[in-house]
A and B are shown apart, each in its own frame.
Chain A
Amino acid sequence: MDVILLQLLNGLDKGSAYALIALGLTLIFGTLGVVNFAHGALFMLGAFCAVTVQRLLSISFETIDPDKVDFLGNPAKVKTPYVESWFGPEMGGAIVDWSVPIAILFAIPIMIAIGFIMERGLIKHFYKRPHADQILVTFGLAIVIQEVIKQFYGANPIPTPAPDAFKGSFDFGVLLGFDPNAVIYPYWRLVYFGFAAIVIAAVFAFLQFTTFGMVVRAGMADRETVGLLGINIDKRFTIMFGIAAAVAGLAGVMYAPINSPNYHMGMDFLVLSFVVVVVGGMGSLPGAVLAGFMLGILESFSSMNVIKSIVPGIDQIIIYLVAIIILLVRPRGLMGRKGVMED
């Protein structure tokens, strides 16, 4: 029982990342009908927002501390971040420590802006072109973004620690009456899951309860009619693209402490997220979220030793296997709507 609980929890954080990326992909696909291969790159950009904010906050100046000497006997130089000298050591230290959550505030406007530029500058011209062209041009864009990041940040993963308050693990086992240390779960992953749930809920609430969201949903159902009613649907769809980019970016920001960001993390997630979207059903938002969590949890269950001893290697291929089976048995995906991308 405790083993099952542990795997369930382990699946949640990856599942949250899949769900967030897949949600953004589906938003773009459902509104604009574009298959965005650069979405993984947006996720990666989010993670590098966190890196950048952390670096900016810890820019420091050197002072000579007369009390200390270094190993050569010279007076030691001490680095103090500027924020510490501005806000005092206590407050400044806290700001540096909390740089990843602070990065969220930076990431939202940046990612929305990037989304706007992408849509207006490039993707707008591809609505009338075949899907293959859309895939190819966004694939090219993904390569370009990836290489630019590599140019600036190098090829190595950059560790981006979470705030000290969230270091360490939470012992679920004690809470539920199991042995101590049976079900241990890092705090930050809990935070990630909670954050993902909030973002997903926010997106759904936005679409469900605001006039803007209503118009967007109407546009997803029948773009032409909404346009004929005198609503500028293109503008709203552009905004949705920005929001989708922001969702991917936020997923990346918060993922930075879990996996040190490197320039190809986006591509690694993209392939899986596409599979998630297809399993959930092209164009279905609840389907994307459901499939994201489902595949994340399935992946973590299949990496249990018991299961691996029965079917060796299953943990590596489970997601693809599920996707193949679903596509063949239920071509529309779990919750796909009729008439979306059907041939």
Chain B
Amino acid sequence: MLGLEKKDTSLLIIVAILTMFAPFILNPFPEGSALAQFNAGYPDLMQRFVIFGIFAIGFNILFGLTGYLSFGHAAFLGIGSYSAVWMFKLLGYNIIPGIVLSVITSGLFALLIGYISLRRSGIYFSILTLAFAQMSFALAYSVLTPLTNGETGLQVYNSDPQYFHSENMPNIPHLFGAKMQGTYSLEMGPWSFDFNTGYYLCAIIMLGMFYLAIRIFRSPFGLMLKAIKTNQTRMNYTGLNPRPYTLAAFVISGMYAGLAGGLMASMDPLAGAERMQWTASGEVVLMTILGGAGTLIGPVLGAGFIKYFENIFSKINDTVLHQWFAFLPDGMENFVITIIHPFVGKGWHLTLGLLFMAVVIFLPGGLVEGGQRITAALRRRAGRSGRSGDDASSTDTTPAE
């Protein structure tokens, strides 16, 4: 279907079902119950899941396929956000021009930065991209203030021209009148599910982008990128120049990042320079590695995982912990809470750092590899207990090594 192999089609369909029913899946606990804090089905967070999913999918096209580790991808995210907000300021709140422009500008910037950075590889490439991103960040903060509004962040004011803004259109980002913030709440007994326009728009775009990524992975072009990762010298000897391929991959992933930035601005019409800082670039690296670099589903998983736990963990405070461990004797309870305390709430980054180190050390293939190992172990056990183990190794999720 759609020019995909069977495995890929089923993967795409699974992802589609998951994203379309996310409001149900992410809200499994009734309102007001003790477990309600594990619900993640509110619009803001769901939008972030899919937007960062797009960002990570794009990053993976560069890092997962070619092995070039860019430490400056957030620059494109920021550029995308700024261009989208400028479109809102000049043309009006319809998000289409904003998103289109954000993809185009970030693509152009990626072409420029990629052309220069890709002359070097390895650690030099990482540092060059980092230098470019930090430069964009510093400039956005200082000299480019007329364009970026500096520390305040770029936002839409009433005095802005908005040439295509008409009276009957809403005064917040919308798609031909459908407000991005519009949410339909479905109450079912104690449960409540939010269906948000912005989320579904982002989700559909993410599915499209995911499909595109599958096609790129399976195309001769993708194969060429994998060859670059595996052995660039040998590719040179066969008479192929890898530069155009890596540059194309860089531009594509930059455009993905720009799209994510544009969507981010469409959900919340504000763009700040801190979106370009290198910590933001580090975050997408974390997501991709955690999920599994070079796999199709890995980056999406990683993005969802990090954003989910970021939200849930930072909400857990001492009161919540006391509730949980109330069953323990008093001394025990306090002891356990003292131990857990540094890792939750504000300490979420500590947990993330430890988790990330553990993944890099023990599971270089990320969550996807972990899943594969578990499946393989289960299969082996099943095979031992009588059935002949089938060797149909999964092709859709093997790391591109």
Contact = CB atoms under 8 A, between A and B. Distances in A.
Interface of A: 35, 122, 125, 129-133, 135-137, 139-144, 146-148, 151, 267, 271, 274-275, 278, 282, 312-313, 316-317, 320-321, 323-324, 327-328, 331, 341, 343
A321 B350 contact: no
Contact of A137 (B128, B142, B342, B357): B357
**A-B complex: 8 closest residue pairs judged by Cβ atoms:** A313-B143, A143-B353, A316-B138, A147-B350, A140-B357, A144-B353, A320-B131, A140-B356
Interface of A: prevailing SS: helix
B380 interface: no
A323 B122 contact: no
B131 A132 contact: no
Nearest to A314: B143
Interface stretch (B113-121, B253-261, B390-398): B113-121
Given A144-B353, A271-B278, A341-B122, A324 B131 contact: yes
Contacts, number: 108
B123 A317 contact: no
B123 A136 contact: no
Contact of B357 (A141, A148, A327): A141
B305 interface: no
Nearest to A141: B357
Given A271-B278, A275-B131, A327 B120 contact: yes
B135 to A, nearest CB: 4
B282 interface: yes
Contacts of A275: 127, 131
27 contacts: A122-B361, A125-B361, A129-B364, A132-B69, A133-B360, A135-B126, A137-B357, A137-B360, A139-B285, A146-B353, A147-B350, A267-B279, A271-B130, A271-B134, A274-B127, A282-B123, A313-B139, A313-B144, A320-B131, A320-B135, A323-B128, A323-B131, A324-B132, A327-B120, A327-B128, A341-B123, A343-B122
Interface of B: 67, 69, 116, 119-124, 126-128, 130-132, 134-135, 138-139, 141-144, 232, 278-279, 282, 285, 289, 342, 347, 349-350, 352-354, 356-357, 360-361, 364
A130 B232 CA distance: 15
Contacts of A313: 138-139, 142-144
Contact of B67 (A132, A147, A331, A341): A132
A136 B360 contact: yes
A248 to B, nearest CB: 18
A112 to B, nearest CB: 22
A35 B123 contact: yes
Given A133-B360, A278-B127, 15 more contacts: A135-B126, A137-B360, A142-B353, A143-B356, A144-B353, A146-B353, A147-B347, A148-B350, A267-B279, A271-B130, A274-B130, A275-B131, A323-B131, A324-B116, A343-B120
B364 A147 contact: no
B280 to A, nearest CB: 13
Given A144-B354, A321-B135, A324-B116, A139 B282 contact: yes
A40 to B, nearest CB: 12
A271 B131 CA distance: 8
Contacts of B364: 129, 133
Interface of B: prevailing SS: helix
Contacts of A130: 67
Nearest to A343: B121
A142 B132 CA distance: 22
Contacts of A133: 360, 364
Contact of B124 (A137, A139, A144, A331): A331
A65 to B, nearest CB: 37
Q: Interface centre among A136, A275, A278, by most B CB within 10 Å? A: A136
Contacts of B119: 328, 331
Given A271-B134, A321-B135, A135 B123 contact: yes
Q: Interface centre among B127, B278, B354, by most A CB within 10 Å? A: B127
Contacts of B360: 133, 136-137, 140
Nearest to B233: A343
Contacts of A151: 342, 347, 350
B120 A147 contact: no
B120 A312 contact: no
Contacts of A139: 282, 285, 356
A223 to B, nearest CB: 19
Q: Interface centre among A139, A140, A282, A331, by most B CB within 10 Å? A: A140
A129 B278 CA distance: 24
Nearest to A145: B353
Contacts of B347: 147, 151
A331 B127 CA distance: 12
A323 B69 CA distance: 18
Given A133-B364, A328-B119, A316 B132 contact: no
A331 B116 CA distance: 12
A120 to B, nearest CB: 14
A133 B67 CA distance: 11
A131 B285 contact: no
A341 B124 CA distance: 9
B342 A323 contact: no
B304 to A, nearest CB: 20
B334 to A, nearest CB: 18
Contacts of A327: 120, 124, 127-128
A69 B170 CA distance: 66
Given A136-B285, A136-B360, A327-B124, A320 B116 contact: no
Nearest to A322: B131
Q: Interface centre among B119, B285, B357, by most A CB within 10 Å? A: B357
Contacts of B144: 313
Contact of A278 (B121, B124, B289): B124
A225 B350 CA distance: 42
Nearest to B139: A313
B350 A324 contact: no
Contact of A316 (B141, B278, B282): B141
